[in-house]
Structures are given as C-alpha cells and as structure tokens.
Amino acid sequence: MDKKAKDRTGYHSGSKGAIHIVGIGPGGLEHLTFKARKTLEGCDVIVGYKTYVDLVKNLIRGKEVFSTGMTQEVDRCQKAIELAAQGKKVAVVSSGDAGIYGMAGLIYELMFNRHTNEEGEKRGKGETEKKISGSPVHRFSDSFIIEVIPGVPA
C-alpha cells in the first residue's frame, strides 16, 4: 500500500504510536466505513468493550485484543494510551459516533490530564495538525497521534 493510501485509510505509518477511536455505528460490519474497516485491519492492538469487540471479530483475527466489561471505560482508555506510548497502533472500538457519544472525550481528557501533570504549566499541547477525510487528527507533541473515525448511523 502506498503512503497516500495509508493516509486515506487513517493508518499511521510513522514510528510513533497512534490511537484511532473507531466508531462502528449501531453494530455489525455493514455499518463500518471503509476507513474504519481499514484502520481496524491496520492496527496492532484492538481495545474496547467486549460486546463491541465481538461485533468486529472477523476483521481483527490474530490481533492483540484488550477488552473489558461495562463500566470499565477508564481502564480501556488508559490501556490504549499506555500501548500507544509504547509505539503501538491502537484502535479503540466505540459504538455510535465515537466523537460525540463514544470514547474520544475520555481519551482526550486522560491525555490532557497526563500532559498537564507531566508539564505543569504547559497545559496539554494537543494541536490539530491536519484533517484526514474530515476526521480530526491530533498529535500530543511528545507522544502519538489521536484520530477519531465516526461510524455510519443506522
């Protein structure tokens, strides 16, 4: 796959890690966008609520998976951040619109807190760098890319 194709699919090819928060819509493979599907296929690790991970199991065979039950959202997001900080490309599976009702808000909150704690007065250096297919891509200056990929509504 050429570099432009990788950029269009949301698969980050740099040496640093990445978190792709992937909306799967209301459930089922038919609600995945092309970009969401390619991102799931291109990531090293899949993180998510067990029920949602099960919905995409045919696309993620052989991948490292970290899934938990209901009410463990913070644990899942912290694990995704930890894995991305190690240089892995992580997909966080979220139902519906990952940016509004899903896991994006919590990931950004945890990253903001992490950078605020680490950098004191330099409160979270997240900056929008570019847009890929309409989804915001953020790079926290010393760590990794975070991208939100919305799902298809029912």
Mean pLDDT score, 37-45: 96
Distances from the Cα of 2 to the Cα of 11, 126, 129, angstroms: 11, 28, 21
Number of domains observed in the structure of the chain: 1
Residue 154 lies in a domain: no
- CATH number for the domain spanning 99: value is 3.40.1010.10
* Residue bearing the bigger pLDDT, 154 or 94: 94
pLDDT confidence of residue 150: 85
What average pLDDT does range 45-57 have in this prediction? 96
Give a yes or no: residue 35 inside a domain: yes
Q: Specify if 51 maps to a domain.
A: yes
E strand residue ranges, 1-154:
18-23, 45-49, 64-68, 89-94, 127-132, 135-139, 145-149
Cα–Cα distance for residue pair 54/71, rounded to 1 Å: 17
Q: What integer pLDDT is reported at residue 106 of this predicted model?
A: 92
Q: Is residue 110 part of a domain?
A: yes
Residue 98 confidence (pLDDT): 83
Q: How far from each other are the two terminal CA atoms of the chain, in whole angstroms?
A: 31
Alpha-carbon distance values, 120 to 113, 114, 115, 139 (Å):
10, 10, 8, 19
**Whole domain around residue 54: which residue ranges?**
3-149
Q: List % helix, strand, coil for the chain (3-state, nearest 5).
A: 35, 25, 35
Give the model confidence (pLDDT) of 75-133 as tens digits.
999 999 999 999 999 999 998 788 877 888 899 899 888 766 655 544 444 443 333 33
Tell me if 142 is assigned to some domain: yes
Instruction: Give percent above pLDDT 90 in the chain.
Output: 48
